[in-house]
Amino acid sequence: MTYDEAKKVGAVIGYGQFITVAVNFLIIAGVLFLVIQLFERLKKPAVTAPPSQPRTEVLLEEIRDAIRNR
């Protein structure tokens, strides 16, 4: 008896088709995850050094420290 004939007769558990659909879903989900992860890596800017403080701020900090140490 084939699967289609068995479905006509009564309730049949089609676990083979369910397993196939579940495996296909996991494969597609994994591929999409990897593609999205790759795009996120490409979008991330390169790491750069933080900008240094302007010369005036450095001088003001030195003056402040000198006044504190008196």
The residue with tokens 């084939």 is 2
The pLDDT, as a whole number, for residue 47 is: 72
Q: How many domains does the chain have?
A: 1
Q: What is the DSSP string of 11-67?
A: ----HHHHHHHHHHHHHHHHHHHHHHHHHHHHHSPPP-PPPPPPHHHHHHHHHHHHH
CA 12 vs. chain centroid, Å, equals 40
pLDDT value for 26: 98
Owning domain of residue 13: 3-68
Q: What is the pLDDT of residue 9?
A: 85
Helix (H, G, I), strand (E, B) or coil at 68: helix
pLDDT tens-digit map of 13-67:
778 888 999 999 999 999 999 999 999 988 877 777 777 888 899 899 999 999 9
Give pLDDT, residue 67. Answer: 94
Q: How many CB atoms lie within 10 A of CB 12?
A: 13
Per-residue model confidence (pLDDT) at position 22? 96
Q: How confident is the model at residue 51, as a pLDDT?
A: 76
